[in-house]
Structure 1
Amino acid sequence: MGVVGVVGAVLGSMAALFVLLVIGAALLKSSSRPETTTPVAIPTYEPSESTTDEPSPTWTPTRSHSQSEEPTQQETTPTQQQPKVTLNTSLKNNTVYRAGALPRLSCPAGNASIFNHSQLKALILKTGKCMDQAWGPILEKQGIDFSPPSYAIAAKRGRGACGDYPSAGSMVPYYCPRNNTIYASTSAMARGNGNARGYGQIISWHGGIISMLAHEYGHHVQNITGMMDSWWRASLDSSSQSGKLALSRKLELQATCFGGMWMRSVASSYPVNTSMRARLFWFYGQVGDYPGWPRDHGKPVNNNLWFRQGWEKGKTFQCNTWVAPSSTTS
């Protein structure tokens, strides 16, 4: 099956668990709660200058954003040599952390209804292209081989390379690294699936669903930068279930941070005004792990924190969950 296939199967099954987290959030929070948020302290991180696979990074106030390279040289002419980029695919010092901020792009969403399949599908595909335009150039600039993900968007349900979508009792989309495809059911996301409440029953504004697709796109970034393979190897090496869950939370919270980066990059054109931003922050404070369910995505307060980290800090190295204090990834 291979590493990528096994990872795909794991991520497919993790998608089924995520709906339980959303359900718990929705049940524990009153529907009459105002959609406001109180600012939280956002940690500040600068990447380690080391490029070794096993660095000893710390979470500290600002340090210089610099990593040394050890490129090999390839002779192109008798008098000119072209450096070859050496990529770091580790979790803690991955080359992606050097990519910096996403460009500010125009990506107007319009008035699409999340309860209309054709409108929501069109919006997902449109914003997906905007994500390509945002992530592609900054990754390629670092020598990362970029290719966009594919999409399979069904009105009801379908069968993908990593399993059925939505999974039984689930309404969440999922990313399958086996074929680099994001799978989603518009009806499940908007209206729910069985006893699973949909995102549209928590926040009816389309920005909520699109931000979740930006999270899935974050998994694609993790995949093409080698982090997903590194995460899977670390999971296999972990001798305890608690250790595996801790790694899963870091993976998921990083994808949420990347999603926050992208939503901020299109905020002026999408648009995400002050009111909608508050609703978006509130939304991410409603989803996460709850007692009785697997602790694989992080507490609601940390989902909120990492989405805001991506939004407010806006640079890839600020999404390095792998060196963050355990309290922020619990």
Structure 2
Amino acid sequence: MGNVRWGRAALICTALALAAGSGVVAARLADPGRGISAVVPTASPTAVTSEPSIAPSAPAGVPETPTPTADPMATNNRIVLQSKLYKVGKIPASRCKEPAARATSLAKVKLYYGQFLECLNKAWAPVMREAGFPFTAPKLVVYAGRSANTACDLTSTAVYCDGTIYMSADYDLKNQATYDPLWTRTTMAFLIAHEYGHHVQSMAGILQASHTRESYLSNSTLALLESRRRELQASCLSGVYLGADKQFFPARGSWLLKWKWTVRNRGDEWNPQRTHGNKTNHSRWSRAGFDAADPAACNTFAAKPATVS
């Protein structure tokens, strides 16, 4: 998609449209007149052709939300590049096992994602509070037949929008019945943790700041680079959770091999928009998060363009 529309109130959504063995994520701002407030430029955006200078860190305890400054981008750059999220260290294990439900019915898909979400909340809540951010648990909507009642544009398999994670059970049910059941499980685990990664970004202000930065960029190539930084970070944060909980999940043996195959074969090469990152970089960031179990491994905004291509 690549185009960002700004209004008085904007709804920040990130969507994950996935097919077997490949995927593309579209990050977008819709404008239904309600939702997360976004920073709206009061003057014509200034073109940015390179990374602007980084502003000093805010005092401890000050929420990292964009505020007007002499340089309208300084605060947003600091939020994405110097977030306190990168300084919390390894996240604690939730000590949760993989949910036992399998994708054989809508009810069981709901059970899998619901139990997984509780484990994600358990792991991330103390991390966000330690970093000085208020923690809020996201809502979860698991639906089939595109029957979800929402203002979000649900054209994708998985969407994080306005504090809610939307998961299409149709995708999981088809995968379970048609493809490898183990691949279905690793994909479900990746999906819910990736969308939760966007929720982590939102709580830290990174999601909103990144969308603002994107709106100021001078051309579509740079805007797509910003989108890839945002999406690859969410995949890295997905790996962080799994790496923290790997002994209890457990993420080892054939499950871990299939997960590594899953993240290695999910890229946006086929999409002319290039919003998500190629397969090589998607694997790079997902596995970096898993190996470190630490959000510090996920600062895609400071990475060289070649590593977020």
State TM-score, norm by structure 1. Answer: 0.72
Q: 1:173 aligns with which of 125, 141, 158?
A: 158
CA distance in 2, matches of 1:131, 1:220: 11
| Counterpart residue identity of residue 175, structure 1 | Y
CA distance in 2, matches of 1:234, 1:164: 22
Deviation for aligned residue 1:223: 0.6
Is the Cα contact below 8 Å between 1:160 and 1:183 reproduced in 2? no
Q: 2:170 aligns with which of 178, 183, 187?
A: 187
Deviation for aligned residue 1:202: 8.5
Match of 1:60 in 2: none
Alignment length (residue pairs):
263
Match of 2:217 in 1: 238
| Counterpart residue identity of residue 122, structure 1 | L
| Counterpart residue identity of residue 54, structure 2 | P
Match of 1:132 in 2: 121
Is the Cα contact below 8 Å between 2:100 and 2:112 reproduced in 1? no
SS in 1 for 2:167: strand
Match of 2:70 in 1: none
- CA 1:114–1:238: 2 relative to 1, 3 Å: same
CA distance in 2, matches of 1:198, 1:296: 29
Deviation for aligned residue 1:105: 2.3
Match of 2:278 in 1: 299
| Counterpart residue identity of residue 273, structure 1 | R
Deviation for aligned residue 1:88: 4.1
CA distance in 1, matches of 2:269, 2:82: 31
Whether 2:51 is the aligned partner of 1:85: answer: no
CA distance in 2, matches of 1:186, 1:199: 14
Match of 1:104 in 2: 93
Post-superposition CA distance 1:53-97 (Å, at most 9, x none): 9429xxxxxxxxxxx8663xxxxxxxxxxxx62344511011211
SS in 2 for 1:189: helix
CA distance in 2, matches of 1:116, 1:206: 14
CA distance in 2, matches of 1:239, 1:202: 44
Match of 1:29 in 2: none
Post-superposition CA distance 1:162-200 (Å, at most 9, x none): 4354x2xx4x11100x2x0001121223316xxxx9996
Whether 2:271 is the aligned partner of 1:273: answer: no
SS in 2 for 1:7: strand
Whether 2:140 is the aligned partner of 1:151: answer: yes
Structure with the greater alpha carbon radius of gyration: 1
| Counterpart residue identity of residue 219, structure 1 | H
Is the Cα contact below 8 Å between 1:174 and 1:182 reproduced in 2? yes
SS in 2 for 1:151: strand
Is the Cα contact below 8 Å between 2:183 and 2:262 reproduced in 1? no
- CA 1:5–1:142: 2 relative to 1, 3 Å: same
Post-superposition CA distance 1:223-257 (Å, at most 9, x none): 11111111111111011011110000000000000
- CA 1:234–1:211: 2 relative to 1, 3 Å: same
- CA 1:263–1:160: 2 relative to 1, 3 Å: farther
Match of 1:49 in 2: none
**Unaligned ranges ≥5, structure 1:** 27-52, 57-67, 72-83
CA distance in 1, matches of 2:178, 2:208: 29
Deviation for aligned residue 1:270: 1.8
CA distance in 1, matches of 2:57, 2:211: 25
Q: 1:287 aligns with which of 257, 262, 266?
A: 266
Is the Cα contact below 8 Å between 1:257 and 1:307 reproduced in 2? yes
- CA 1:55–1:6: 2 relative to 1, 3 Å: same
Deviation for aligned residue 1:274: 2.4
CA distance in 1, matches of 2:126, 2:179: 32
| Counterpart residue identity of residue 306, structure 1 | W
Moved more, 115-124 or 208-217: 115-124
User: Sequence identity of aligned pairs in percent?
Assistant: 25
**Unaligned ranges ≥5, structure 2:** 1-5, 24-51, 66-78
Whether 2:208 is the aligned partner of 1:229: answer: yes
| Counterpart residue identity of residue 7, structure 1 | I
* CA RMSD, Structure 1 to Structure 2 (Å): 2.7
Match of 1:55 in 2: 54
SS in 2 for 1:184: strand
- CA 1:152–1:70: 2 relative to 1, 3 Å: closer
- CA 1:87–1:317: 2 relative to 1, 3 Å: farther
Is the Cα contact below 8 Å between 2:210 and 2:230 reproduced in 1? yes
